[in-house]
């Protein structure tokens, strides 16, 4: 289809009720059956099978909640990653590096996200030892604390000397979140998203890290919003053309959503490729993201996409208006020609 890469994810996951409590016994400790440990192994094997379906330069999307209660309980309590999870994640990261692919950690509900961010920093600290990040963490622009979360990631990477990979999304758990954690309006979410993208592209250090050098970093812009994509790409291209420092930028959309934006990105890349050698192309590559699994495993993913597509239906109105105006323009142009 012309896309420069794919993202493939294994859809197995767990969605929580924010009011549920951690599963512990009366002593305050957590005990797990052999079946819980088998769930981690099954998730690891499914994730490795997913990795084998993609190629060099592609992304593996990893959903840590798919590993089951051992991962979910520890993430929710902000405990260190359990040893069984550490071994599984290390094996997945090593296989991803060996294959020449990359990996991102998908976002979770806010009840889990703080714990996930702790783990993501630990994973990047261990595996992002080169200038080009192997591991990306996901930041959700619709959360009010997303900019502060980004600043924390930048500061830690700058202080400790590892490369930072960020996938930026608007957010997908709005029906499962505490509403007060999310920006009040769509306009505020758009501003938050664009601010985070601009901070990374322009390499803006947080105030507490002004004395440090901006870390090696890369941004994957996951968006179905044409305005956000255009703003980020224009800023990125402007910096490159004036030989100012910036970071690698790539873009992507979910398969079957915002295909008009994806096709535009593909077209722009192909035009740039025709004008230059492959190694000099600075236009962001375009990716498509897909998930796979059993029907049961995919239900959570499909439900969130259905919610997201409500906005997609609204976005088609401007396309219909544009087509309508173009039809009338051609009709009146034809009438004018006939009169002449």
How high is the mean pLDDT in each 10-residue block of the chain (340 residues)? Answer: 88 60 48 89 95 96 94 95 97 98 93 95 98 97 95 98 96 72 91 97 95 97 89 92 94 81 80 66 84 77 63 58 73 69
Buried b (16+ CB within 10 A) or exposed e, 308-318: beeeeeeeeee
Exposed, middle or buried, 304 (CB in 10 Å: 0-12/13-18/19+)? middle
Sequence-separated (6 or more) residues with CB below 8 Å from residue 292: 8, 9, 10, 11, 50, 53, 298
pLDDT of residue 221: 93
In contact, 213 and 158? CB cutoff 8 Å? yes
Closest CA to 137 of 48, 62, 212: 62
The pLDDT value given to residue 225 = 86
Contact 219, 132 (CB under 8 A): no
**What per-residue confidence (pLDDT) applies to 26?**
42
- Would you give the DSSP letter of residue 102? E
Is the whole-model pTM more than 0.75?
yes
**Can you tell me the distance from the alpha carbon of 60 to that of 323, in angstroms, rounded to the nearest whole number?**
38
Q: Check: CB of residue 189 under 8 Å from CB of residue 142.
A: yes
Closest Cα partner for 230 from 261, 272, 192, 276?
261
H or E segment at 63?
none
What pLDDT does residue 253 have? Answer: 85
* Three-state secondary-structure class, residue 139: strand
Is the CB of residue 146 less than 8 Å from the CB of residue 138? no
Q: Residue 49: left if φ>0, alpha if ψ -120 to 50, beta else—which one?
A: alpha
Q: Which of 222, 193, 225 is nearest to 312 (CA)?
A: 225
Enumerate the H helices of 27-142 as residue ranges.
Answer: 34-51, 69-77, 83-99, 110-127
In the chain, the domains with their CATH numbers are 5-295 (3.20.20.220)
- How many residues belong to the chain? 340
Tally of CA atoms within 13 A in the half-sphere of 334 that contains its CB: 6
d(CA 67, CA 63): 8
Using an 8 Å Cβ cutoff, are 82 and 92 in contact?
no
């Amino acid at each position: 289809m012309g896309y420069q890469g794919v993202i493939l994810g294994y859809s197995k996951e767990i969605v929580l009720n924010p009011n549920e409590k951690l599963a512990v016994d009366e002593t305050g400790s957590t005990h797990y059956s052999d079946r819980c440990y088998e769930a981690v192994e099954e998730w690891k094997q499914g994730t490795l099978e997913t990795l084998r379906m993609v190629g060099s330069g592609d992304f593996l999307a990893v959903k840590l909640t798919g590993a089951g209660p051992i991962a979910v309980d520890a993430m929710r309590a902000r405990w260190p990653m359990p040893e069984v999870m550490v071994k599984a994640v290390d094996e997945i990261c090593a296989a991803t590096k060996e294959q020449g692919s990359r990996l991102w950690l998908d976002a979770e509900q806010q009840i889990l996200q703080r714990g996930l961010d702790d783990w993501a920093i630990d994973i990047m600290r261990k595996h992002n030892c080169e200038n080009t990040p192997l591991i990306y963490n996901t930041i959700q622009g619709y959360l009010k604390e997303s900019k502060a979360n980004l600043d924390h990631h930048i500061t830690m990477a700058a202080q400790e000397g590892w490369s930072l990979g960020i996938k930026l999304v608007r957010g997908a758990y709005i029906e499962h979140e505490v509403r007060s954690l999310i920006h009040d309006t769509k306009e505020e979410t758009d501003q938050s998203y664009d601010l985070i993208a601009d901070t990374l592209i322009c390499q803006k250090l947080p105030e507490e890290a002004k004395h440090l050098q901006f870390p090696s970093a890369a941004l994957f812009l996951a968006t179905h919003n044409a305005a956000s994509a255009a703003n980020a790409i224009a800023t990125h291209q402007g910096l490159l053309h004036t030989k100012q420092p910036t970071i690698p930028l790539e873009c992507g959309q979910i398969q079957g959503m915002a295909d008009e934006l994806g096709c535009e990105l593909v077209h722009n890349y192909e035009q740039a490729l025709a004008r230059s050698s492959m190694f000099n192309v600075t236009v962001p590559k375009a990716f498509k993201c897909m998930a796979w699994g059993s029907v049961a495993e995919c239900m959570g993913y499909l439900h969130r996409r259905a919610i997201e597509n409500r906005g997609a239906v609204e976005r088609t109105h401007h396309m219909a208006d544009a087509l309508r105006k173009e039809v009338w323009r051609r009709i009146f142009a034809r009438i004018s020609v006939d009169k002449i």
